Chains A and B, each alone.
Chain A
Amino acid sequence: MKIEGKKRVLREMVLHRRFEERCYQAYIERKIGGFLHLYPGQEACCNGVMEAARPGHDYVITGYRDHVHAIKCGADPKEVMAELYGKETGSSKGRGGSMHIFDAAHRFMGGYALVGGPFPLAAGIAKAIQLKGGDEIAICFLGDAANNQGVFHETLNMAALWKLPVLFVCENNLYGIGTSIERSTAVIHQHKRVAGYNIPADECDGQDIEIVYEHARKAVDHVRSGNGPFFLELMTYRYRGHSMSDSRGYRSREEEELWKQRDPIFILRDRLIAAGELTMEAFEALEKETDAYIENEVIKFSEDSPEPRVEDLEKYVLADRETQTPWLTGKAA
């Protein structure tokens, strides 16, 4: 990564961090309801991989911890926040909520609430790419615990069998809600689990974006060159609880502190400062600027936007009804 690129990515990561922290606050203020899963601590994973890929061109799919992935693909933070506010201007028109951010225009194929659900969908998207002959790839970001669903294995087998252009990124944050990985999974290093399917795999530090980027580049190249699937495991940590009702009793404050010393944003910041490309003052100014943007534009837009109309309750349920397609009545011309 060139210095200019690094500065831009730092800027983005700060936005991602502050956006999520602002969500936390909005949840406390009851502006956001339902389940809310936040991303702080894991920013280098999504950013590192997507810097090596082509955001907005490659298809991305993930679970319920999805805000940052959507924004990285090109979704407008205003629309993502409006979705969390349940507004008509939200990325899913207020129908989806935090766990279901979608932005098809930017090829962000969504956040899904059922653990493991996106695995085969990603393979299906890759199948469509293969059929249509494009140079895109499908990227599936999921957690470590998701690999315990049977569909993980079913998908790996099919993806390898049919040489589908799909990159599986496992963000191994060592926990699935309150269960630590060694209590739920026989193998801690997830990349070892895919060897049986003849899928090449790699593992690296998920806190240092430059390391993620280097490994992701090889992974993306492999998939884009038509060699079939690849599995990339990133060792990372989520700083907050799993969702909002989580007092983190299952892990120690010391463990959290250790990981906070490997904060992905600070790692990049300090490297830029050491290289003389950034000052601490400039970084602090960036944080302030970001907060101002979030407050004055993102939050304001979300607050000011209208709610969906109750008359539209049944909108978006069935396609043919809405567009009155001729085959609904068998009168196709």
Chain B
Amino acid sequence: MANIMYWEAIQRAHDEEMTRDPLVICMGEDIGVAGGTYKATKGLYEKYGPLRVMDTPISEGGFTGLAIGASFLGVRPIVEIMSVNFAWLAMDQMFNSAAKIRYMSGGQLEAPCVFRSAGGAAHQLGAQHSARMEKVFMGIAGLRVVTPSNPKQAYGLLKSAIRSNDPVFINEHELMYNMKGEVPDTEYFHPLEGSDVTRSGTDVTLFGYNISVHWCLKAAEILDKQYGISAEVVDLYSLAPLDRAGIKASVSKTHRAVIAEEDEAPVGVGSEVIAIINEECFFELDAAPVRVHSALVPQPYNHTLEKAAIPDHEDVVKAVLKLFGKA
């Protein structure tokens, strides 16, 4: 086990897959000579050259479509969209071309593309650079969405996404690239579907994904130490499809659920998980499930307002205490 950073894990997955298969290529803005805004493609340009590591113009719609077209002929492109905010410009191609091609061609064509992007609010980047957009991607038929919460997942999910014959959107987080964690030394493929029980508990399930898994883990610690509440933490690394069986199994055990997301509440992971709970295990519930989420505002620049807009582990603790009538 190596203890490496999130960006190093992503870089390693690229490197291994590009060594193995000459048709694996990567492209994006400043990913080659500069090594990537978050270093996720560091050293690849030197190793594989400009034909396979492509610095693109600022043409998100164009190069995303180009990658998808190449994938029709068996090329496996890994497209980096520098920030998820810019993915809006690429969505037409992702949704109308990649996600639908297999279906509308009756299975003749496939788009084995990977789209990676940094999502989430970093610090004070303002309204047009702080979007969380999982909600937009997870409702598109034909597109897989995964979102790693640690280096092991970042490595293993990317490996599997490259091998997958479906288009996969990987939602990373700007604040997590320097996070360290254990990654197996041997090749490892994280399942594209399912969820991980990151901490086992009996009284309440805290559902998180990507950065909010860390709020949940911190909250679980506090709930255990200070309030004697045993919280289970479930990491929903696959947002499309969501793990119905995993959600049902955990809630059937704990009978209570809190869903933590950095995104705003309307139309999101929280509402979807609650719908699944209603459909799968409504009669197991001891209390109505609760969402912890951001305020429905474009992200403010001011530091204090920004903090007020985004939840953290304390909000998760508060939500659980409320669920238990302790606040």
Chain A interfacial positions (CB closer than 8 Å to B): 33-35, 83, 86-87, 92, 94-100, 112-116, 145-146, 148-150, 176-179, 183-185, 249-250, 307-308, 310, 312-314, 317
B 52-69 contacts with A by CB, 8 A: 55-62
A100 and chain B: residue at smallest CB distance: B126
Distance (whole angstroms) from the CB of B226 to the closest CB of chain A? 26
Residues of chain B with a CB closer than 8 A to A35's CB: 125-126, 129
Which residues of chain B in 34-91 are interfacial with respect to chain A, using CB atoms and an 8 Å cutoff?
34, 55-62, 85-86, 89
In Å, the complex CA distance between A178 and B39 comes to 13
Q: Is the C-beta of B123 less than 8 angstroms from some C-beta in chain A? A: yes
Report yes or no: A148 in contact with B124, Cβ–Cβ below 8 A.
Answer: no
With A116-B58, A148-B59, A150-B62: A99-B123 Cβ-Cβ less than 8 Å: no
Which chain A positions have C-beta within 8 A of B303? 33, 86
Contact of B58 with A146 in the complex, beta carbons under 8 Å: yes
Interface segment, B12-20, B196-204, B291-299?
A: B291-299
> Distance in Å from the Cβ of B49 to the closest Cβ of chain A?
14
Q: Is the CB of A96 within 8 A of B58?
A: no
Residues of A within 8 A of B33 (CB): 178-179, 183, 250
B residues near A (Cβ < 8 Å) are 29-30, 33-34, 55-62, 85-86, 89, 123-129, 295-298, 300-305, 308-309
Known: A113-B85, A183-B55, A185-B57. A97 touches B301 (CB 8 A): yes
Q: In the complex, what distance in Å separates the CA atom of A317 from the CA atom of B127?
A: 11
Q: In the complex, which residues of chain B have a beta carbon less than 8 angstroms from the beta carbon of A100?
A: 126-128, 301
Residue pair A178, B34 in contact (C-beta under 8 Å):
yes
With the chains together, A314 CA to B296 CA distance in Å? 8
Q: A113-B126, A313-B295 are in contact. Are A177 and B85 (CB under 8 A)?
A: no
What residues on A are CB-neighbors of B296 within 8 Å? 314, 317
Among candidates A96, A177, A184, residue contacting B126 with C-beta atoms closer than 8 Å: A96
Contacts of B301 in A (CB 8 A): 33-34, 83, 86, 92, 94-98, 100
CB closest residue in chain B, given A86: B302
B306 CB to nearest chain A CB (Å): 9
Contacts of A34 in B (CB 8 A): 123-126, 129, 301
Check B55–A184 contact: CB distance below 8 A. Answer: yes
Interface CB pairs A-B, < 8 A, 24: A86-B302, A94-B301, A94-B305, A95-B300, A96-B127, A97-B124, A97-B125, A113-B85, A113-B126, A115-B58, A116-B58, A145-B58, A148-B59, A149-B58, A177-B29, A178-B30, A183-B55, A250-B33, A308-B300, A310-B305, A310-B308, A313-B297, A313-B300, A314-B295
- Residue contact A113 to B55, C-beta cutoff 8 Å: no
Using A35-B125, A150-B61 as known contacts, list a sample of 6 further A-B pairs with CB atoms less than 8 Å apart, ordered by residue number in A.
Answer: A33-B123, A34-B301, A95-B305, A114-B89, A313-B308, A314-B297
Cβ contacts under 8 Å, B60 to chain A:
149
In this complex, what residue of B is CB-closest to A310? B308
Expressed in whole angstroms, the Cα–Cα distance for A100 and B129 within the complex equals 11
Q: Quick one: closest B residue to A83, CB to CB?
A: B301
> B57 contacts A317, CB within 8 Å?
no
Contacts of A97 in B (CB 8 A): 124-126, 301-302
A236–B288 CA distance with the chains assembled, in angstroms: 61
Selected from A92, A113, A312, the residue in CB contact (under 8 A) with B129 is A113
Residues of A within 8 A of B304 (CB): 86, 307-308, 310
Q: Which residues of B contact A178 (CB under 8 A)?
A: 30, 33-34
Chain B residues whose C-beta falls within 8 Å of the C-beta of A249 in the assembled complex: 34
- A99 near B55 with CB under 8 A, answer no
Q: How far is the CA of A112 from the CA of B127 in the complex (A)?
A: 10
Within the complex, what minimum Cβ distance (angstroms) separates B45 from chain A?
11
**Distance in angstroms between the alpha carbons of A116 and B57 in the assembled complex:** 12
**B30 CB contact (under 8 Å) in A86, A177, A314:** A177
Which residue of chain A has its CB nearest to the CB of B63?
Answer: A148
Q: How far is the CA of A86 from the CA of B296 in the complex (A)?
A: 20
Q: In the complex, which of the residues A146, A150, A183, A307 contacts B302, with contact meaning CB atoms closer than 8 Å?
A: A307
Looking at the assembled complex, report how far the CB atom of A101 sits from the nearest CB atom of chain B, in whole angstroms: 11
Whether A99 contacts B129 by the Cβ 8 Å rule is yes
Which residues in A have their C-beta under 8 angstroms from that of B62?
148, 150
CB of B292, distance to nearest CB on chain A (Å)? 16
Contacting residue for A99 out of B29, B34, B126, B309, CB 8 A: B126
Contacts of A116 in B (CB 8 A): 58
| Chain A residues with CB below 8 A from B297, complex form | 313-314, 317
Tell me the minimal C-beta distance from B131 to chain A in angstroms.
11
Closest chain B CB from A119 CB (angstroms): 12
